[in-house]
C-alpha cells in the first residue's frame, strides 16, 4: 500500500518538474548561440558593464559540464530578460544551510554585497571539484582565494578583522610556507576556520573559538593533543578557565612558525618570555596559588643568562617543566616533582643525583626561601660597606693629619714623614 | 743594587721575579673581574656590552677560566717561591703578621689625630702592605676554591646538593667584589694617591724606590739595608 503511494507520488513529481521545463527550456547549444559571442555584455543598474560570454570549453570541463544551463538558470528562456540569481542551495542544500549560518551568509542575507557568495570562492561556469588542482577551492589554491578579500585593507578595517599583518604572517608561517611548497598536508584557511560555516573566533560555535582550539589543532597534531590533554593547562582550559593557555597562546595563530625559527615565541631563547607572559603576572600567581618570581629567579640563574645570550643548549622553562604535558610539581607524574627532579636534572647533568636535587631550584634570595644565600649576601654587603666606610675614614684621617701637621707649621721639620 | 742606583739614591724594592708575578696578577685579576662582573651584573647594559665584546656567554666563560688557570699557576709559583727560595723566604718572614703591626696601626691613628708626633717606624712591610697581601691571598684562595667547585660542575653535582653550589656561586661573586674593591680602593690609594707616593710608587715597573722615601716610610728597612752596607 505504502509502496503504491510512493510510486504515485514520484510519478507526479516527475511530471510536475520535467513537464514545464521540458516544454520551454533552451538547450546548451541554443544558449550558446548568444552567450558564445565574446562581445556580448550588459550594463547593470549600477552602470557597470558585465560580460555575458560563457566559455563552453570551460563549462564542459567543469563539474557541472554534463548538465544544461537551465539546471541552474531555471528561469532561462530564449530569448530572455535579466535572470534571477542562481540558487545553488537547490541542489547543495547542506552547504547552503551551513553557509547561511556563517558570518559570510548572515551578512549576505542582509544584502551586504562585499561578502562572498558561493561563486566568489567556487567560480561560476567553470566550477571544479575541490580535489581538482585547477579548482579555486583546491587545497593549495584556497588560501589565495580567501586572501583576495582578507588582504584587502579596506575590507579588514570595515569588518574589524585582524589586519593584513596577520594574513601576511600566515603566508610566512610554517603552515603557509608548507602550502606554498605544495604540501597537501599543510593547514590552509578552511582547515582551521571551516569552509561554509566560517564564524568569528569569539562565537562559541566557531571552530577557532578558544575552547575549540586544542581539538582543532589536534585534528592534525594528534600526538601533541594527547599530551596536552594530560597537562594542567588542558585541565584548566576544559574547566572553562580562559586564562589557561591553549595552543595558540604559546604558538601564535596565523604567524605560527617552527621551533627552530628564532622569531618563534616557542624558540628556546623566547620560551622564558612566552611562559612569563602569564607566569610573571601577580594576578595569575595569586589566583592559582603558584610560586612567584619564577621568571626573575630563572633569569638570574646561569641557565637564564646563558639562554638570554643565545646559548640555547642551556635549560629553558620547558627543559625541566615539560612542553605540552606540563604538570604541577605536586603531581607525581610531573618532571619537576621532587621525586623526579634527579632524573630531570640528569637529562643534561648525568651525575646530578638525588643528593643534588635537594633544596629549591629557583633561588629566591629571601630568608624564608634561601636562607644561606640570603645570609651570605647580607654578610658580604655589610662587610664590604663597613670596609669601604672604614677605608674612606682612614684616608680622611690621613688627610686630616697631614693638613693638621702642615697647619701647625714647620715644627715637624723636614725629617718627619709626610 | 748597582752603584748607579745608589748614586741616584735608588733602592731596589721589587725584584724582577716579583714584578713579573705582580704584573701577571694585575692583568689576570682585571680580566677575571671584567668577565666575572659582567656575568654577576648581567642585567646591566654595560655588562651586556662586555659579554657581547667577549663573544657571548660561552666565550666569556672560556676567557674567565683561562685567566683563572693562569692565575692559579701564578699563585702556585708564588707559594713555592715564597717557601723555597732564599729571597722568597726572607720576603715571607717580612710579611708575617705580629703584635707589632697592631701597635703600629694604632700609633698611626694616634699620629694622624695628633695625639703623638711620632710616625710608626715600619719595617720592610707595614700594616698596609700586610693587610693588602694577606687579604688578597685569602680572598683569591676562597674565590679559587668556589670557582673550581663551579667549574667542575659534573663532580660538584654528584657530591653536593644544589644549595651548596648556590652558596659557592654567591661567595665566589661577592668575594670577588670584596677583593676588587680592596684592590681598587685600598691598594690603588696606597700606591698611587697617597701623598707620599703620588702620582705613583714606581717600584712595580722599575723595581726601585728612592732611598729617601724608604727612610721616611720604612725606616727600619732603611736602617737594616744601611747596616748591611747596601746603602
Each domain of chain A, given as residue ranges in start order, spans: 111-203, 212-364, 371-396
Q: Report the alpha-carbon distance of residue A189 to residue B108 in Å, rounded.
A: 85
Tell me whether residues B114 and A361 touch, CB distance under 8 A.
no
Write the ipTM.
0.89
Q: Report the alpha-carbon distance of residue B192 to residue A221 in Å, rounded.
A: 69
* Rg of chain B in Å (alpha carbons): 21
Average model confidence (pLDDT) across chain B = 91
Q: Report the alpha-carbon distance of residue A307 to residue A300 in Å, rounded.
A: 11
pLDDT of res. A19: 43
Burial of B100 (0-12, 13-18, 19+ CB in 10 A): middle
Asked if B73 reaches chain A (Cβ–Cβ under 8 Å), the answer is no
Tell me whether residues B178 and A384 touch, CB distance under 8 A.
yes
Tell me which residues of chain A have a pLDDT lower than 50. 1, 11, 14-23, 411-418
- CB-CB neighbors (< 8 A) of A309 in chain B: 51, 56-57
pLDDT of res. A14: 47
Angle B13-B15-B19 from CA coordinates, rounded to 5°: 100
pLDDT of res. A27: 87
Q: Report the alpha-carbon distance of residue A234 to residue A331 in Å, rounded.
A: 15
Span B161-170, average pLDDT? 93
pLDDT of res. A8: 53
Output DSSP code: residue B44.
S
Q: Where are the beta strands (DSSP E) in A269-339?
A: none
Which chain B residue has its CA at the smallest distance from A296's CA? Answer: B43
Smallest CA-to-CA distance from A313 within A290, A347, A337 is with A347
Our CA dihedral for A308, A314, A316, A319, rounded to 10 degrees, sits at 170
Query: Between these two residues, B32 and A22, which has the higher pLDDT value?
Result: B32
Nearest to A353 among B153, B158, B177 (CB): B158
Q: Report the alpha-carbon distance of residue A202 to residue A211 in Å, rounded.
A: 10
pLDDT of res. A3: 57
Q: Where are the beta strands (DSSP E) in A294-333?
A: none
Span B107-119, average pLDDT? 91
Asked if B174 reaches chain A (Cβ–Cβ under 8 Å), the answer is yes
Give the global pTM.
Answer: 0.79
Amino acid at each position: 500500500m505504502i509502496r503504491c503511494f510512493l510510486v504515485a507520488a514520484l510519478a507526479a513529481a516527475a511530471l510536475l518538474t520535467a513537464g514545464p521545463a521540458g516544454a520551454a527550456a533552451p538547450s546548451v547549444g541554443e544558449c550558446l548561440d548568444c552567450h558564445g559571442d565574446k562581445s556580448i555584455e550588459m550594463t547593470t543598474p549600477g552602470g557597470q558593464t558585465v560580460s555575458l560570454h560563457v566559455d563552453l570549453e570551460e563549462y564542459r570541463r567543469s563539474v557541472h559540464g554534463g548538465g544544461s544551463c537551465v539546471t541552474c538558470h531555471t528561469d532561462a528562456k530564449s530569448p530572455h530578460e535579466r535572470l534571477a540569481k542562481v540558487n545553488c542551495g537547490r541542489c547543495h542544500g547542506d552547504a547552503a544551510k551551513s553557509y547561511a549560518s556563517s558570518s559570510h551568509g548572515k551578512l549576505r542575507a542582509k544584502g551586504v554585497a562585499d561578502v562572498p557568495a558561493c561563486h566568489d570562492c567556487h567560480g561560476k561556469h567553470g566550477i571544479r571539484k575541490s580535489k581538482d588542482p585547477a579548482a579555486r577551492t583546491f587545497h593549495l589554491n584556497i588560501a589565495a582565494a580567501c586572501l583576495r578579500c582578507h588582504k584587502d585593507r579596506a575590507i579588514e578595517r570595515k569588518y574589524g578583522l585582524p589586519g593584513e599583518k596577520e594574513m601576511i604572517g600566515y603566508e610566512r608561517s610554517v603552515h603557509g610556507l608548507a602550502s606554498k611548497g605544495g604540501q597537501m598536508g599543510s593547514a590552509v584557511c578552511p582547515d582551521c576556520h571551516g569552509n561554509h560555516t566560517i564564524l568569528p573566533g569569539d562565537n562559541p560555535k566557531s571552530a577557532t573559538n578558544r575552547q575549540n582550539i586544542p581539538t582543532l589543532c589536534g585534528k592534525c597534531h594528534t600526538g601533541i593533543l594527547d599530551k596536552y590533554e594530560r597537562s594542567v593547562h588542558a585541565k584548566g582550559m576544559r574547566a572553562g578557565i580562559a586564562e589557561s593557555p591553549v595552543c595558540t597562546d604559546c604558538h601564535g595563530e596565523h604567524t605560527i612558525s617552527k621551533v627552530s625559527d628564532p622569531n618563534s615565541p616557542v624558540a628556546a631563547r623566547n620560551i622564558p618570555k612566552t611562559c612569563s607572559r602569564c607566569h610573571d603576572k601577580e594576578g595569575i600567581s595569586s589566583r592559582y596559588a603558584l610560586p612567584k618570581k619564577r621568571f626573575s629567579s630563572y633569569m638570574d640563574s646561569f641557565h637564564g643568562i646563558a639562554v638570554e645570550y643565545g646559548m640555547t643548549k642551556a635549560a629553558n622553562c620547558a627543559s625541566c617543566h615539560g612542553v605540552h604535558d606540563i604538570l604541577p610539581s605536586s603531581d607525581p607524574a610531573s618532571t619537576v616533582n621532587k621525586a623526579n627532579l634527579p632524573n630531570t636534572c640528569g637529562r643534561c647533568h648525568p651525575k646530578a643525583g638525588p643528593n643534588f636535587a635537594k633544596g629549591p631550584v629557583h633561588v629566591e634570595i629571601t630568608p624564608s626561601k634561601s636562607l644561606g644565600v640570603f645570609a651570605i649576601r647580607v654578610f658580604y654587603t655589610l662587610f664590604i660597606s663597613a670596609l669601604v666606610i672604614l677605608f674612606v675614614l682612614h684616608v680622611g684621617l690621613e688627610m686630616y693629619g697631614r693638613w693638621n701637621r702642615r697647619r701647625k707649621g714647620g715644627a715637624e721639620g723636614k725629617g718627619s714623614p709626610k | 743594587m748597582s752603584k748607579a742606583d745608589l748614586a741616584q739614591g735608588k733602592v731596589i724594592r721589587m725584584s724582577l721575579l716579583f714584578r713579573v708575578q705582580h704584573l701577571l696578577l694585575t692583568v689576570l685579576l682585571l680580566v677575571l673581574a671584567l668577565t666575572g662582573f659582567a656575568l654577576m651584573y648581567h642585567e646591566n647594559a654595560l655588562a651586556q656590552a662586555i659579554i657581547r665584546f667577549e663573544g657571548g656567554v660561552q666565550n666569556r666563560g672560556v676567557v674567565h677560566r683561562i685567566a683563572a688557570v693562569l692565575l692559579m699557576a701564578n699563585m702556585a709559583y708564588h707559594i713555592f717561591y715564597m717557601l723555597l727560595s732564599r729571597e722568597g723566604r726572607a720576603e715571607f718572614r717580612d710579611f708575617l703578621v705580629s703584635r707589632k703591626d697592631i701597635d703600629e696601626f694604632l700609633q698611626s691613628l694616634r699620629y694622624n689625630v695628633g695625639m703623638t708626633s711620632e710616625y710608626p717606624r715600619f719595617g720592610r712591610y707595614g700594616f698596609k702592605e700586610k693587610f693588602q697581601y694577606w687579604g688578597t691571598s685569602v680572598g683569591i684562595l676562597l674565590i679559587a676554591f668556589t670557582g673550581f667547585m663551579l667549574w667542575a660542575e659534573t663532580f660538584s653535582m654528584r657530591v653536593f646538593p644544589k644549595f651548596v653550589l648556590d652558596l659557592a656561586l654567591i661567595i665566589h661573586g661577592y668575594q670577588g667584589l670584596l677583593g676588587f674593591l680592596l684592590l681598587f680602593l685600598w691598594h690603588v690609594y696606597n700606591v698611587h694617591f697617597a701623598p707620599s707616593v703620588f702620582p705613583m710608587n714606581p717600584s712595580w715597573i722599575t723595581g726601585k724606590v728612592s732611598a729617601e722615601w724608604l727612610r721616611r716610610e720604612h725606616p727600619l728597612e732603611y736602617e737594616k739595608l744601611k747596616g748591611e752596607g747596601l746603602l
